[in-house]
Amino acid sequence: MNQPKRFFSILSFLLIAIAGASALNAQTDAKLPPESNYEAMLQVIIGQSDAGTKNDIPQNLTAISRELRANFSFPSYRLANTFIGRVSNTGSLEYKSVSDVFGQPSEQQDAPIFLEWSLGRLQTAPDARGQNVVVAQPFRFGARVPVNVAGPKGADGRPSVVLNYEAVGLNMNRVSLPENKPTLIGTLSLPKTTGTMFLVLTVRPTEN
């Protein structure tokens, strides 16, 4: 076989191989099912000892409010903040921000709170009753909160005030909850207060 014919044969073989691979990939892509997406909503409720504080719990958390009142003795509860993120099946979600979710005393208004939370490898599966359960591996919530502490004494003999940051957080290696149902997944004590933070997570399917 002369050189031009050999070159033409090799080129034809390569073109046929590329066309076949493209057709196979197209068939594979066409068979892929539509990906499921979910909305993860984390709601932070603060229980307070101040009976004069107005209760402020949205209607979708009525069942959670009854649960809190049955198990905790705080006279008032308020929704501090709501965080929403979209995540696909087996995907992960990570949120970091500056926040005033805790409600700071007046002397700490200029000191930011650094907050972060995350869901890892979100999956859904039916339970023994056939109802969908959401599983996240892991769930993490954390914050660095400004706290005033007594510092060294000054020339006048009075102690100075030093602003320190104290870390609070909740880590779960694996957490499961019913799909589309607000679920209390943990509590945190607030530094230098008698209040408690309640974390309520809701995961529901969204339109693709």
User: Percent of the chain at pLDDT above 90?
Assistant: 36
Query: Measured between alpha carbons, how far is 41 from 201 in angstroms, rounded to an integer?
Result: 6
Arithmetic mean of pLDDT, 179-189 = 93
CB 175 within 8 A of CB 200: no
Cα 168–chain centre separation:
15
How much is the pLDDT for 14? 47
* Through-space distance between the first and last CA atoms of the chain, rounded to whole angstroms: 57
Q: Predicted confidence band at 108 (pLDDT cuts at 50, 70, 90)?
A: low
Please state the domain extents for the chain: 1-32, 35-205
0.85 surpassed by pTM: no
Cα 141–chain centre separation:
7
pLDDT per residue as tens digits for the range 80-105: 889 999 999 889 999 998 877 665 55
How much is the pLDDT for 28? 45
How much is the pLDDT for 42? 95
Q: Predicted confidence band at 136 (pLDDT cuts at 50, 70, 90)?
A: very high
pLDDT per residue as tens digits for the range 14-73: 445 555 555 545 554 445 456 789 999 999 999 888 766 677 888 889 999 999 999 998
CB 119 within 8 A of CB 93: yes
- Phi/psi of residue 30, nearest 5 degrees: -65, -25
